[in-house]
Amino acid sequence: MPSYHPLPIKEWALEDRPREKLIAKGLQSLSDTELIAILLATGSRNRSALDLAKEVLRSAKNNLNALGKKSLTDLQQINGIGQAKAISIIAALELGRRRKLSEILQQQRITSSQEVFDIFGSMLSDLPHEEFWVLFLDRANKIIDKYKFSQGGISGTVTDVRLILKKGIELLASSMILCHNHPSGNLSPSQADNQITRKISKGGAMLDIQVLDHLIIGNNRYFSYADQGLLHAE
């Protein structure tokens, strides 16, 4: 049986080549597959860059959010995707997350749980492990800064309340919003989540730093203690 040799991209019609199509028609004219093909730059022995890009998307069920959850090792399991190509994909997805975060932080003032989710959602939804972050605010609820205080495994992370309160004092924060993720996608707060929320709230109250909310994030959704009236529950 004769081997299959795909037509090299340079031999395609000009309007079908991803780079040339971008230049002629703009970014919006390109499909997700074509954008990934540009990142890959070259194909493999028996497949073009576009064929490889289709396989990359197929491995994530054609869902960019699912693709964002794949690790370097996951991507390298795809035939034709080596370390360099996998790194290019992961780096591009991370730049997208950071751009979104930069745009949101420029808005500064926090008025709802949705705005907090807009900040942390893209950062935490794709992670295979738990992370605990705190957003520090001034008296006008404007963002002073955000910090990651711990990183753990699939089922939990240990957070040092003293470090959180120390940072709040250093930043002269008036309030803070807690946020962590559940890699499982289950948004129900655990007993440990309730305990750490109460502990930080009580410690902050002694220092006149109010905890405004605690968000749990998973699968691009969130649970808000404040929205559910559980922030001050005993």
Report the C-alpha gap between 177 and 213 in whole angstroms: 5
Of 71, 99, 127, which marks where a domain is finished? Answer: 99
Query: Rounded to a whole number, what is the distance in angstroms from the first to the last CA of the chain?
Result: 72
Q: Are residues 86 and 140 in the same domain?
A: no
Structure confidence at residue 105 (pLDDT): 57
The gap from C-alpha 221 to its chain's centroid, in whole angstroms, comes to: 12
In a domain, 1, yes or no: no
Query: Domain range holding 78?
Result: 9-99
Answer yes or no: do 127 and 95 share one domain. Answer: no
Q: 40 falls in which pLDDT band (50, 70, 90)?
A: confident
Q: Which long-range contacts (CB under 8 A, 24 or more apart) does 196-203 make?
A: 196/159, 196/161, 197/225, 197/231, 198/234, 199/161, 200/161, 200/164, 200/165, 200/176, 201/231, 201/232, 203/161, 203/164, 203/165
Structure pTM? 0.60
Q: Containing H/E element for 114?
A: helix 113-124
Assess whether 141 and 33 both reside in one domain: no
pLDDT digits (tens, 9 = 90+) for 119-156: 898 888 888 889 999 999 999 999 988 999 998 865 55
Residue 41 confidence class, pLDDT cut points 50, 70, 90: confident
